[in-house]
Structure 1
Amino acid sequence: MRFLGVTETCDLLALYLELQAEGHEVRVAVTEPLAGGTGEGLIDRVVDWRSSLDWVGDDGIIIFESVSEDYGAIQDEIRGLGYHVIGGSAFGDRLENDRAFAQALLAELGFPAGHVHEFADTEAAIAFIAKNPARYVLKISGPDHASHDNYVGLLRDGRDVSAMLEANPVNTGTRFILMDFIEGVEVGVGAYFDGTEFLEPACLDWEHKRFFAGDMGELTGEMGTVATFEQTGGFFRRTLKLVAPLLRGKGHIGYVNLNAIVNEAGIWPLEFTCRFGYPGFAVLSPLQRTKWGQLFARMTGLGSDSFKTEDGWAVGVLITTPPFPWSRHEVNAPVGLPIIMDALDRDDRSHIHFGEVGRSRGNFVTAGLYGWTMVVTGVASTIAEAQSCAYLRAEKIVVPNGRYRLDIGDKLVGGELERSKALGIFGG
């Protein structure tokens, strides 16, 4: 089968490499100039993805990575021309980017409401906090902002959120929300949508978004994740499955994740991801018995109905290099640094998922815009064992200036997993 990747920065490099290893033909179009080295020497790169539509044909698959640059509307357009497309849709883009819109739809489905306040003016938000002092979470709507533009307030009167807004005002006309801070267990539920229904089983995931161990520092896209497909049906039916009627008929085919806070008062949805998240796809990969090519064929109606997964836990650790968590648009950090994996055996290498990596003079080297270098995974019947496997592999990899959090999964092992069970997140 032929696969065409359409991407700004080629975050899904590991996925394209797995498709290649399965025997499929793969081409990738990368639009970001500073991502020119990502995948170099590893995959077939094309300049203009539209020029490869005839090559894909009506029995190939086009994969879109992003929710920006009107990609959702473009996907709807080319689906209308008869091509098989996986990634998102215009509706999915809006669910992810328009936070207030998504919360309104979720409220109509019976989820809690009244805890989200939308603004398009910084001064109005500051005045709101002064009148309604409380602990808030600031989140910017739209795709054109970095994760560290968001801020989780710490003070009960909201003074720190006001200070952040004063020091870094949101661009005029850009919409953003203040969300009441809600204490509880943060968990995501994700599944693949085939245009009509979600494929089961769904996954549960616990993301680690801050830069430093101990949940210190700025918010990043993600530093590591713990995930499972085991005992996820009950929570899926109470959350993401309810969204299927909203997606049905919108042309959306791809992965959808709903992140939420769960506490004794109920389930409080936070946000959608309506695309393949990085490094989320890499953490799920070793738990999926169905190969990526077969899964994509199933989602587009070209294959069987099978979708098989493994029981147990996967722990994924993200190894980054500078300029992460910024980009090379802001920080002039070098690329082309050597990635040395001589100590890894064959099993270890199956758990290495390249991000921004290329090949130069026969060697793997760092590349790309952000410094998302790779994800290292471990899989076992317990979180602690999976965590140990992942870190033993990470220790064998040498990347100049490479860094990663040393506590991925610690909170779950230390009590959050038991609380998750008590809150009814598992079962069914």
Structure 2
Amino acid sequence: MRFLGIGQTNDLAAMYGGLQSRGHDVRVVVEDPACHDVFEGILQRVEDWEGELGWIKAAGEDGIILFESATHGALQDALRSEGFQVIGGSGLGDRLEADRAFGQSALQAAGLQVARCHRFAGYDEALAFLDRYPARYVLKFNGASSERSRNYVGQSSDGADVRAMLSMHAGRPNEDRSMAPDFILMEFVHGIEIGVGGYFNGHDFLSPVCVDFEHKRFFPGDLGELTGEMGTIVSYQGSARLYATVLRPLVSILREGGYCGYINVNLIANESGLWPLEFTCRFGYPGFAICEALHTEPWENIFRRMLRRDVLDFGAKDGFACGVVLTVPPFPYRHGYADLSKGLPIFVDPNMTQAQRESLHFSEVALRQGQLVASGSCGYLGVVTGVGTTVQAANLAALDSVRKVLVPNLRYRTDIGARLSGGELQQLHSWGWLPGKDSAA
């Protein structure tokens, strides 16, 4: 088969590498110049996606275009209309993820309760709103490419800390004044964060769908910056009620919007029900690699089923997968990377088992003169996965592999899944969102 990957930073590099190792032809387009060296010496990078369309079309049903980000939906729609096989998202998907208020309205229309959400295009307007309606809020900037570290989960019950954050942004001389600010203030909801996601084939979801528990903050104990994701627990077990409540009601809008790819809804669960927070309308990073740890068949089989719509299920293991993200300074920021970490050598303990080697899903790395080194833009080296019958077992398996990856100044969280093992899973069981240990999925 032939695969053309299109994205900004080559986030699916590990997936492409796996496809290539299984004998498929892979070419990638990496739009961000700072990431042109991601998987350098491993994958073939091409400059112009349009110049590769003939190569893809010549493969017929064996030619697939994969999109990484939720920023090229209109292009995906256009390519599908021209007969190309495209997996990634759609124009609708871009809007569901990037326009948070629109995403909330779509979820509300699908029958879910939503927290109050207010959109602003100016800081003064938002500050005046907080003066009138003081409360605890979450500040989230719109746009699929917005920096996650700018978002802020308010701690103060009267919104004073969120107000201070907005005042800071308003007064910064280096804020881009060519574009109006675009952000929301969402009412804070107490509870347990959980996600449900699946592969949509343009008509229906493949089975099974997964449940996931993201750990977004940089340090153990959920301290530090919102990074996007520092690790996640994934399972394909027990997702039936979440699927029926959250994903199945979205089938009509996704079908009408021409969506084809992975889609996830992140939620807060509490005694009052489910409260959706946001969409991910693309492959999740590092979610795709953590899901893969539970798959019993390769990506190409899943992609064929999505495009042919002949089979609505795929093989997945029971249990849990844990993913631990590996980083070096200055992640999650870019400034100073060239001086601090770019080019650092990466070694793998030769005593690693074959299964442990397969658990390594590198990202910002390159192969130079036979040596694996840090590359890319910020020090996101990749994710290491582990699988187990319990969350704790999966975490221990992942950490056992992590400790065999040898890089100067390597940073990672050791507590991925600790809250789940410490009582959150049992609480979700008691609310009925996940089946009990003796219940069917």
TM-score by length of 2: 0.94
Cross-structure match for 1:18: 18
Between the aligned partners of 1:4 and 1:302, the Cα distance in structure 2 is: 21
Between 92-101 and 416-425, the greater mean CA deviation after superposition: 416-425
CA displacement at 1:220 relative to structure 2: 0.5
Between the aligned partners of 2:335 and 2:80, the Cα distance in structure 1 is: 34
Structure 1 residues 55-84: Cα deviation after superposition (integer angstroms, max 9, x where no partner): 11132000010122xx11111111111000
- Is 1:181 aligned to 2:182, yes or no? no
**1:405 is paired with a residue of what secondary structure?**
coil
**2:348 is paired with a residue of what secondary structure?**
coil
Between the aligned partners of 2:17 and 2:284, the Cα distance in structure 1 is: 17
Note if contact 1:22-1:293 (Cα within 8 Å) is conserved in structure 2. Answer: no
Cross-structure match for 2:65: 62
Cross-structure match for 1:41: 41
Cross-structure match for 1:133: 134
- Is 1:398 aligned to 2:406, yes or no? yes
Output aligned runs, 1:246-265, within 5 Å.
246-265=253-272
CA displacement at 1:13 relative to structure 2: 0.8
Between 203-212 and 164-173, the greater mean CA deviation after superposition: 164-173
CA displacement at 1:181 relative to structure 2: 0.7
CA displacement at 1:329 relative to structure 2: 8.3
TM-score by length of 1: 0.96
CA displacement at 1:113 relative to structure 2: 3.9
Output aligned runs, 1:107-126, within 5 Å.
107-113=108-114, 115-126=116-127
**Is there any run of 5+ residues in structure 1 with no aligned partner, and where?**
none
The one-letter code matched in structure 1 to 2:67 is F
**Is there any run of 5+ residues in structure 2 with no aligned partner, and where?**
436-440
Structure 1 residues 223-244: Cα deviation after superposition (integer angstroms, max 9, x where no partner): 0000100111111111111111
Between 100-109 and 267-276, the greater mean CA deviation after superposition: 100-109
Out of 336, 340, 351, the position equivalent to 2:359 is 351
Structure 1 residues 251-275: Cα deviation after superposition (integer angstroms, max 9, x where no partner): 2110000000011111100000000
The one-letter code matched in structure 1 to 2:39 is G
Out of 293, 317, 329, the position equivalent to 1:322 is 329
Could you list the runs of 4 or more consecutive aligned residues of structure 1 that deviate by over 6 angstroms after TM superposition? Answer: none
Aligned length: 426
The one-letter code matched in structure 2 to 1:353 is H
Note if contact 1:35-1:369 (Cα within 8 Å) is conserved in structure 2. Answer: yes
Check 1:291–1:167 CA distance in 2 against 1; reply closer, same or farther (3 A cut). same
Cross-structure match for 1:337: 344
CA displacement at 1:372 relative to structure 2: 1.3
Cross-structure match for 2:284: 277
Between the aligned partners of 2:251 and 2:312, the Cα distance in structure 1 is: 18
- Is 1:370 aligned to 2:373, yes or no? no
- Is 1:238 aligned to 2:235, yes or no? no
Note if contact 2:220-2:413 (Cα within 8 Å) is conserved in structure 1. Answer: yes
Between the aligned partners of 1:302 and 1:190, the Cα distance in structure 2 is: 18
Cross-structure match for 2:5: 5
**2:184 is paired with a residue of what secondary structure?**
strand
Out of 302, 305, 308, the position equivalent to 1:301 is 308
The one-letter code matched in structure 2 to 1:372 is Y
Check 1:66–1:123 CA distance in 2 against 1; reply closer, same or farther (3 A cut). same
**2:238 is paired with a residue of what secondary structure?**
coil
Cross-structure match for 2:148: 147
Check 1:306–1:180 CA distance in 2 against 1; reply closer, same or farther (3 A cut). closer
Note if contact 1:140-1:149 (Cα within 8 Å) is conserved in structure 2. Answer: yes
- Is 1:388 aligned to 2:391, yes or no? no
Check 1:24–1:306 CA distance in 2 against 1; reply closer, same or farther (3 A cut). farther
Between the aligned partners of 2:134 and 2:76, the Cα distance in structure 1 is: 43
Q: CA RMSD in A?
A: 1.6
Between the aligned partners of 1:388 and 1:112, the Cα distance in structure 2 is: 37
- Is 1:203 aligned to 2:204, yes or no? no
CA displacement at 1:91 relative to structure 2: 0.5
Between 91-100 and 140-149, the greater mean CA deviation after superposition: 140-149
Note if contact 1:320-1:373 (Cα within 8 Å) is conserved in structure 2. Answer: yes
Cross-structure match for 1:216: 223
Check 1:400–1:231 CA distance in 2 against 1; reply closer, same or farther (3 A cut). same
Note if contact 1:2-1:56 (Cα within 8 Å) is conserved in structure 2. Answer: yes
Check 1:38–1:88 CA distance in 2 against 1; reply closer, same or farther (3 A cut). same
CA displacement at 1:20 relative to structure 2: 1.2
Structure 1 residues 315-344: Cα deviation after superposition (integer angstroms, max 9, x where no partner): 000001122101258885441211100342
**2:429 is paired with a residue of what secondary structure?**
helix
CA displacement at 1:22 relative to structure 2: 2.0
Cross-structure match for 1:27: 27
Structure 1 residues 327-379: Cα deviation after superposition (integer angstroms, max 9, x where no partner): 25888544121110034221110100111111011011111112110101110
**1:63 is paired with a residue of what secondary structure?**
strand
CA displacement at 1:104 relative to structure 2: 1.1
Between the aligned partners of 2:158 and 2:257, the Cα distance in structure 1 is: 42
CA displacement at 1:415 relative to structure 2: 0.8
The one-letter code matched in structure 1 to 2:353 is D
Out of 410, 418, 425, the position equivalent to 1:410 is 418
